[in-house]
Each structure stands twice: as C-alpha cells, then as structure tokens.
C-alpha cells in the first residue's frame, strides 16, 4: 500500500509547504495537511532572510514573491540604553536579494500554496489535523491518523508540525531541551500615516526590557520579551501598566499604543530551544521546528526550517520519484542539517546568556564593546550580516523538476 501512497507532510508552515512544493515539482505525489482553515496567525514570524529568498531565485519565483507587499531591510539597527547603533549590514551578500524581506508569513504560505497547486501531484488539505501515526506489522510508520477518525496511508511521513509536534511525540523521538529564559508577547500597534517606519528600530533594549517592532505597512507587529512563565504577572499589573511599559521602552510606539485595549489583544508565544537527537525512524522524518525549535533571537527560525525542507527534497525527491525506498536516506537529511542547526542554536544560547538574561534581570547598564565596535567600524558589520542573512550550511535547490508531471 505504501508504494502507491503519497508522501504525507503534516504541518503547513514554511518547512512543510516548501518540502511539498519541491517534491511535487519532482513528480512525487505529496499530501500536505494543515490543521487550520487558513494560514493567518499573527505570532508567525515575518523575517524572510536572503538565504530563503535565494532559494526562490533558484526555482525562478523570486520576482513573483517580491511582488507581494513587503518591507526590505538591509541594515540592522538597535536602540540600546537610549542610543541607536548600527550592528549589521546585508548589502554585501552575494545573493539576488541582499536584504531581509519583512513579509507576513501568511502571504508567504499562500504564495507557496498557489505555486504548489500548479502541479497535479500536490494536494493541500486545510482543516485537516493529524493526531497520530499508523504502523505496519513490522513497526514501520505507514500513515497518519486524523482527528476525524480516518487514517491516511503514506509512503513516507514528514513531520513538520512545529515545536509542539504531535508526531514527534507519537514516535517518541529523543528530545534534548536546551532551555529558554524567555517568552514573547505579540501585539499590534497602528503606524501613523505620516511616520517613517525607520523612526522605530527593529529592536529596542533598555533597563525596562526589550521590544521588537516589525513594520507591516500601516502597523507594527510588536513583541515584548518577558521572563519565562511571566505572563500571569504582566496581566496582574493590568493593561494600562503594560502599555506604559511598552512606551517607556519604545517611545515611538506611543501614538498607537491605545489600540491595545485589553489582554485579548496580546498573544503569548512560549519560547522553546530544543532539538531531536534523532530526526527519523523508518517511514518518518522530522524537519523544521518539529526537529529543532529555535529561539526568536535573530529571527532565523523560518529560514532554518526552509533549509531543512530543501535538504530533504535534494536528498529524497529523485529517489522517491523513481520508486525507491526512502528509509535508507533519512539519516542523510539530519547529517546535512545537524551542524548548521547546532551552531545556530549555540549562538542563540550565547545571546540568551549575555543579553536576554541580564536584560530580564534589569542588569543592562552599559553598551557591550562588541556593539560599540560594530557601530564604529562599518566593515565589521558584514560578519553578523552574513550569519543572519545566510546562516550556516546554506542549501541550494538541486531536486529535479519533472515537467511531465506539471
């Protein structure tokens, strides 16, 4: 049965959608399951980095993607203790789009869905929730169970269902929890029509905390960094105190802050930093946040997830299209993505320890030497720019395009 069944991808986030598109382009029958009715969720990130934009250039879709509304940021600035510092530049990167596209993730996912539907081998099922795994008599994963009680057979199951992956739990894949000292509160603040979006930096840190403001045309999608498990205490102080705290950290948000009327307008994102020590078992492969939950630091989560999807397609697409057994190849996906993942997580842990934890304790009382050097010596800004823009272990699309299947 699994020989004629599709590859089933659980999760319609960046990893699952890109993997589905690339496999379908290669002529592989693929079914992507997304439990929600649409992709519209504000807490999803917006930062599409140059490494990801370059992948769309690989498959001839960069121009169409950038025709969608977005803001392009090629220089990273930080307000720290009342002064603005320039800390990174991406202008020098050897890519087609040397900038970060600030694009709502639902627009990105809708775009990938439209492209995927151009291939008859691509099947996207919205409002379809996978709740568990099915196994054959030998113990190999050969399908998923659905919330409606149905079972969907699969030639291979790809778990791309996020940091709270149901499938990785069902498979009992070994998880290494690295810990995270923070959570994130997401909220919207309207942007006045006469205000230049650069008047509010992407990130502001002072003794009162940290606020991120992502420009989305006529509003900012904002995030406040709080202590892990601290949302109850924030709510206990009341919405007025919350608004006052935000404005004290990022005064440029004052004009629109009253749009936050209650804590119904504030969403909690519980931050995790973890990774599976084994991403696979026979019949199953985990990618993206299901394989490694990333901290929001650097906004790199989307991009690592997409790189996982490309690596998986590069390794698996041609053999799957030829009818080969994918199981012997699954470990290769983890091998290719392990070092890039662990290196980026190590940088995020360093940032947690040196920046986030002192900030949460109210111990930020001076500007670190590294920040001052980056601001003073423009050439140095290329180093963090390259790490943010291209990451580690950068992939290019090598999976085939089987035009006969379009």
In the predicted model, what is the mean pLDDT of residues 156-172?
Answer: 95
Q: Give the pLDDT score at 187.
A: 94
- Over the stretch 197-224, which tens digit does the pLDDT of each residue have? 667 788 899 888 999 988 877 888 899 9
Residue 345 tokens read as 């997580």
344 vs 27: CA distance, rounded Å: 33
Q: Give the pLDDT score at 235.
A: 96
* Cα atoms found within 13 Å of the Cα of residue 332, Cβ hemisphere only: 11
In the predicted model, what is the mean pLDDT of residues 141-149?
Answer: 96
103 vs 234: CA distance, rounded Å: 29
Report yes or no: 354 and 367 within 8 Å, Cβ to Cβ: no
Report yes or no: 228 and 271 within 8 Å, Cβ to Cβ: yes
Residue 253 tokens read as 């948000």
Task: With a cut of 90, say whether residue 299 has pLDDT above it.
Answer: no
| Residue carrying structure tokens 């690592």 | 304
Task: With a cut of 90, say whether residue 297 has pLDDT above it.
Answer: no
Residue 371 tokens read as 């920040």
Task: With a cut of 50, say whether residue 53 has pLDDT above it.
Answer: yes
Percent of the chain with pLDDT over 70: 96
Q: Give the pLDDT score at 247.
A: 94
- Band (pLDDT 50/70/90 cuts) for residue 404 is low
DSSP string, 294-333: --SGGG-HHHHHHHHHHHHHHHHHHHHHTT--SGGGHHHH
Q: Give the pLDDT score at 197.
A: 62
Percent of the chain with pLDDT over 90: 78
342 vs 348: CA distance, rounded Å: 10
In the predicted model, what is the mean pLDDT of residues 60-78?
Answer: 93
Provide the phi-psi class of 283: left if phi over 0, else alpha when psi is between -120 and 50, else beta: left
Q: Give the pLDDT score at 198.
A: 64
Output the CATH code of domain 7-74+95-177+272-357. 3.50.50.60
Q: Give the pLDDT score at 1.
A: 43
Report yes or no: 145 and 132 within 8 Å, Cβ to Cβ: yes
Q: Give the pLDDT score at 208.
A: 81
CB neighbour list of residue 164: distance below 8 Å, 6 or more residues apart: none
Report yes or no: 286 and 168 within 8 Å, Cβ to Cβ: yes
162 vs 14: CA distance, rounded Å: 10
Residue 363 tokens read as 């111990």
- Over the stretch 354-399, which tens digit does the pLDDT of each residue have? 889 998 888 888 888 999 999 999 999 999 999 999 999 999 999 9
DSSP string, 240-307: HHHHHHHHHH-GGGGGGGGG--SGGG-EEE----EEES--EETTEEE-GGGT----SGGG-HHHHHHH
Q: Encode 31-76 in three state secondary structure.
A: EEECCCCCCCCCCCCCEECHHHHHHHHHCCCHHHHHCCCCEEECEE
- Over the stretch 322-357, which tens digit does the pLDDT of each residue have? 999 999 999 999 999 999 999 999 999 999 998 899
Report yes or no: 293 and 272 within 8 Å, Cβ to Cβ: yes
Task: With a cut of 70, say whether residue 3 has pLDDT above it.
Answer: no
Q: Residue 59's CB: how many other CB atoms inside 10 A?
A: 16
Domain residues of the chain, as ranges? Answer: 7-74+95-177+272-357, 182-269
């Amino acid at each position: 049965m699994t020989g004629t069944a599709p590859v089933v991808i659980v999760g319609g986030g960046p990893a699952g959608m890109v993997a589905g598109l690339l496999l379908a382009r290669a002529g592989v029958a693929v079914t992507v399951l997304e439990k929600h009715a649409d992709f519209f969720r504000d807490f999803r990130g917006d930062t599409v980095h140059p490494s990801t934009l370059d992948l769309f250039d690989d498959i001839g879709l960069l121009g169409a993607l950038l025709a969608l509304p977005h803001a392009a940021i090629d220089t990273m600035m930080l307000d720290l203790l009342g002064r603005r510092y320039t800390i990174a530049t991406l202008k020098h990167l050897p890519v087609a789009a040397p900038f970060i596209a600030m694009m709502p993730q639902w627009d990105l996912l809708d775009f990938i869905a439209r492209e995927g539907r151009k291939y008859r081998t691509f099947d996207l099922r919205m409002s379809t929730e996978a709740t568990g795994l099915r196994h054959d008599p030998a113990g190999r994963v050969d399908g998923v169970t659905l919330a409606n009680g149905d079972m969907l057979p699969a030639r291979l199951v790809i778990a791309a269902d996020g940091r709270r992956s149901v499938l990785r739990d069902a498979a009992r894949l070994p998880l290494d929890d690295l810990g995270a000292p923070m959570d994130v509160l997401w909220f919207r603040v309207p942007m006045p029509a006469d205000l230049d979006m650069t008047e509010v930096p992407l990130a502001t840190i002072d003794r009162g905390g940290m606020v991120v403001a992502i420009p989305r045309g006529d509003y900012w999608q904002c995030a406040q960094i709080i202590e892990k498990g601290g949302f109850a205490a924030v709510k206990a102080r009341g919405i007025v105190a919350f608004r006052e705290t935000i404005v004290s950290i990022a005064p440029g948000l004052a004009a629109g802050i009253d749009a936050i009327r209650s804590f119904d307008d504030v969403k909690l994102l519980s931050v995790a930093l973890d990774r599976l020590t084994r991403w696979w078992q026979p019949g199953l492969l985990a990618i993206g946040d299901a394989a490694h939950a990333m901290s929001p630091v650097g906004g790199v989560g989307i991009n690592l997830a997409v790189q996982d999807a490309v690596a998986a397609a590069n390794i698996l697409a041609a053999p799957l299209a030829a009818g080969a057994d994918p199981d012997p190849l699954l470990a290769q996906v983890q091998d290719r993505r392990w070092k890039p993942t662990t290196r980026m997580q190590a940088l995020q842990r360093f940032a947690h320890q040196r920046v986030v934890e002192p900030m949460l304790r109210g111990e930020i009382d001076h500007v670190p030497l590294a920040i001052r050097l980056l601001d003073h010596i423009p050439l140095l800004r290329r180093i963090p720019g390259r790490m943010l823009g291209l990451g580690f272990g950068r992939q290019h699309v090598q999976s085939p395009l089987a035009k006969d299947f379009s």
